[in-house]
């Protein structure tokens, strides 16, 4: 069964069941069941054993445990901010300045850009900051969730310093883009520094720029269509922010008059968290300030490292410091701590459960069915050089959408792409990066497809986190996000078609024309869809 069409059935099953039943846990469960049965050729006992082994590996993996711990402690910090009045103080300040729904949406975009270093950190933090403000301005939950999910990954993947950079540079290195071959590498195919290549690739990650432009355009033009239009109409007419469904009650909801606090109660936990994250990265990177040998901050971010332990200890340190500050300022007493911890854990436990099931599903697709490799080898086997960037984007998008893993997608597609380009051009290796004009848009297509597929996927961690932090129903968020992301995805595909046609022209001319074409297609689709729903066509 492996390396044949049945390996793509489980992702299709998840999508269909989720849309029909609106039950994401049921759809994921059936996805895991179907994937394990296909992977074991129909042997039920072996399928059960396979699932248990993957579950054990997930729960024993240190990075996963640190990641789940980080999410739980963020929940506790959120409840603490509410208890001390920090969130209320910020809400009052922002409410006095944000008078319209449009201004609140712009504020959500700006805050998301401030947390560019990591997509999880952005989704969780910005969502809980903006939720009380967007609620009062009658912005539906799914609209906030869409903004939260649309910015972090596209922004992190083009930032010269972020939690994604080490992974990207490492994948380029392992695929043969390096100054010297090393252990475990495919060999030196392109003689170039992988980080410098990444910097040159950034302008070609068209999805990031088109998606960011799309969000601004949607808000500026007040574009509304599909299920999102229904949610926005109901919110405006009735005040129900869930599309007419029963509201989801969470432990961090509060009224403005529920607590008295100051901006110090809000800013201290957030700033201490960001500070501790940077300190942790520098410490792990052997920075000279902490007695190490590395003197370049940029070089530290080029390294492949795990951010999850850093995030966990940073948020744990921020929580302890924030509790001590609240106790010292008499905003809290010891008797309140057990309830704060309990409410914070309850706030995140459902999201973590979904994350575990989604990760289990992705692991079976990746390790046993090898769905990503099947799709990549199938679609990249015969292709014209001009259409190479566009096809790579499609492959990368499909792999990420099916598996819910942008990083896993890069690990699958990058090692296939670089050798394929060298072989298609029949170049003598090692070649210089400047000698392969098609290389930069092709690598950009990998990153863009990974970010777009991760954004589109119903099993992506960012999708789950953005729904949770905004308070939206997950299945509604998935549906609205897919429709609103589609114009940007189609626009990006057009951009890579243009880029492939113009790959022999100057890089500036290539990027300018490609981005302009892709953005124009995206904006046109958004305007047409919005006008159709408003009856103006």
In this prediction, residue 76 carries a pLDDT of 86
Q: How many CA atoms does the CB half-sphere of 324 hold within 13 Å?
A: 7
Residue 44 has pLDDT above 50, yes or no: yes
Which of helix, strand or coil describes residue 191? strand
Residue 166 has pLDDT above 80, yes or no: no
Distance, CA of 59 to CA of 56 (rounded, Å): 5
Which of helix, strand or coil describes residue 261? coil
pLDDT in tens, 419-473: 777 777 777 777 776 677 788 999 999 999 999 998 888 878 788 888 888 889 9
In this prediction, residue 251 carries a pLDDT of 45
Distance, CA of 8 to CA of 460 (rounded, Å): 17
Residue 211 has pLDDT above 90, yes or no: yes
Strand partners, 190: 177, 431
Chain-centroid distance of CA 74 in Å reads: 17
pLDDT in tens, 284-337: 877 777 777 777 776 776 666 666 788 788 889 989 999 998 889 888 888 888
Cis link prior to 475 (omega < 30° from 0)?
Answer: no
Residue 353 has pLDDT above 50, yes or no: yes
In this prediction, residue 177 carries a pLDDT of 82
Cβ neighbours around 521 below 10 Å, total? 20
- The two tokens of residue 229 are 């239009």
Residue 63 has pLDDT above 90, yes or no: no
pLDDT in tens, 299-309: 776 666 666 78
Evaluate the CA torsion angle 429, 181, 117, 135 in order and state its sign. Answer: positive
Task: Give the phi and the psi of residue 426 in degrees, each rounded to 5.
Answer: 55, 50
> Could you tell me the pTM of the whole model?
0.77
Which of helix, strand or coil describes residue 177? strand
Instruction: Locate all alpha helices (DSSP H) within 457-473, ordered by sequence.
Output: 461-470
pLDDT in tens, 153-163: 888 899 877 76
- CA–CA distance from 519 to each of 111, 208, 389 (Å)? 24, 11, 17
In this prediction, residue 184 carries a pLDDT of 41
Evaluate the CA torsion angle 215, 219, 222, 226 in order and state its sign. Answer: positive
Question: What is the pLDDT confidence band of residue 257, given thresholds at 50, 70 and 90?
Answer: very low
By CB atoms closer than 10 A (0-12, 13-18, 19+), residue 120 is: buried
In this prediction, residue 449 carries a pLDDT of 93
Residue 260 has pLDDT above 70, yes or no: no
Chain-centroid distance of CA 280 in Å reads: 22
Q: So where are the chain's domains?
A: 172-209+370-533
Q: How many CA atoms does the CB half-sphere of 170 hold within 13 Å?
A: 18
Are 375 and 3 in contact, with CB atoms under 8 Å apart?
no
- The two tokens of residue 484 are 């609103």
In this prediction, residue 376 carries a pLDDT of 64
Nearest to 195 by CA among 149, 147, 162, 230: 162
Higher model confidence: residue 380 or residue 348?
Answer: 348
Q: What percent of the chain shows pLDDT beyond 90? A: 21
Higher model confidence: residue 252 or residue 476?
Answer: 476
Higher model confidence: residue 6 or residue 515?
Answer: 515
> How many angstroms separate the most distant Cα atoms in the chain?
72
Three-state helix/strand/coil letters over 272-297: HHHHHHHHHHHHHCCEHHHCCCECCH
**How much is the CA Rg of the chain, to the nearest whole Å?**
23
In this prediction, residue 54 carries a pLDDT of 87
Are 312 and 342 in contact, with CB atoms under 8 Å apart?
no
Measured distance between the N- and C-terminal CA atoms of the chain, rounded to whole angstroms = 48
Higher model confidence: residue 65 or residue 20?
Answer: 65
Q: How many CA atoms does the CB half-sphere of 133 hold within 13 Å?
A: 28
Helix 474-501 with 24-39: angle, nearest 10 deg: 60
């Amino acid at each position: 069964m492996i390396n044949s069409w049945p390996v793509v059935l489980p992702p299709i099953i998840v999508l269909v069941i989720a849309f029909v039943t609106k039950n994401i846990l049921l759809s994921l469960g059936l996805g895991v069941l179907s994937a394990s049965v296909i992977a074991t050729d129909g042997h039920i006992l072996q399928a059960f054993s396979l699932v248990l082994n993957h579950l054990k590996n997930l729960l024993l993996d240190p990075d996963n445990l640190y990641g789940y711990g980080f999410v739980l402690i963020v929940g506790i910090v959120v409840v603490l901010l509410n208890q001390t009045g920090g969130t209320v103080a910020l809400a009052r300040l922002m409410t006095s300045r944000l008078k319209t729904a449009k201004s609140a949406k712009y504020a959500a975009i700006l805050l998301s850009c401030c947390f560019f270093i990591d997509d999880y950190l952005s989704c969780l933090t910005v969502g809980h900051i903006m939720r009380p403000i967007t609620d009062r301005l009658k912005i539906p939950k799914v609209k906030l969730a869409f903004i939260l999910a649309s910015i972090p990954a596209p922004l992190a993947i083009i930032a010269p310093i972020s939690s994604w950079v080490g992974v990207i540079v490492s994948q380029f290195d392992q695929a043969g883009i390096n100054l010297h071959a090393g252990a475990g590498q495919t060999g030196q195919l392109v003689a170039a520094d992988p980080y410098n290549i990444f910097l040159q690739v950034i302008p070609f990650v068209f999805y990031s720029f088109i998606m960011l432009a799309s969000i601004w355009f949607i808000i500026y033009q007040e574009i509304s269509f599909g299920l999102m239009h229904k949610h926005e109409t109901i919110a405006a007419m009735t005040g129900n922010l869930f599309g007419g469904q029963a509201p989801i009650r969470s432990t961090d909801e509060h009224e403005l008059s529920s607590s008295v606090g100051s901006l110090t109660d809000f800013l201290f936990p957030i700033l201490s968290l960001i500070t501790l994250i940077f300190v942790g990265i520098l410490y792990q990177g052997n920075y000279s300030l902490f007695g190490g040998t590395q003197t370049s901050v940029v070089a530290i971010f080029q390294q492949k490292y795990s951010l999850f332990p850093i995030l966990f200890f940073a948020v744990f340190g921020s929580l302890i410091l924030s509790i001590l500050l609240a106790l010292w300022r008499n905003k809290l007493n010891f008797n309140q701590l057990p309830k704060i911890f309990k409410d914070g854990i309850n706030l995140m436990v459902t999201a973590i459960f979904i994350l575990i099931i989604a990760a289990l599903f992705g692991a079976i697709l990746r390790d046993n069915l090898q769905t990503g490799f099947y799709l990549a080898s199938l679609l990249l086997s015969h292709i014209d050089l001009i259409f190479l960037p566009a096809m790579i984007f499609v492959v990368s998008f499909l792999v990420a959408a099916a598996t819910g893993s942008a990083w896993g997608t890069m690990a699958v597609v990058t090692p296939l792409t670089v050798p394929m380009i060298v072989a298609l051009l029949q170049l003598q290796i090692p070649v210089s990066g400047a000698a392969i004009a098609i290389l930069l848009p092709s690598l950009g297509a990998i990153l863009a497809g990974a970010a777009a597929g991760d954004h589109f996927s119903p099993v992506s961690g960012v999708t789950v986190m953005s729904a949770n932090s905004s308070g939206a129903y997950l299945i509604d968020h998935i549906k609205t996000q897919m429709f609103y992301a589609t114009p940007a995805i189609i626009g990006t595909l057009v951009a890579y078609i243009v880029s492939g046609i113009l790959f022999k022209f100057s890089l500036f001319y290539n990027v300018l024309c490609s981005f302009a074409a892709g953005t124009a297609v995206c904006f046109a689709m958004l305007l047409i869809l919005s006008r159709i729903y408003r009856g103006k066509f």
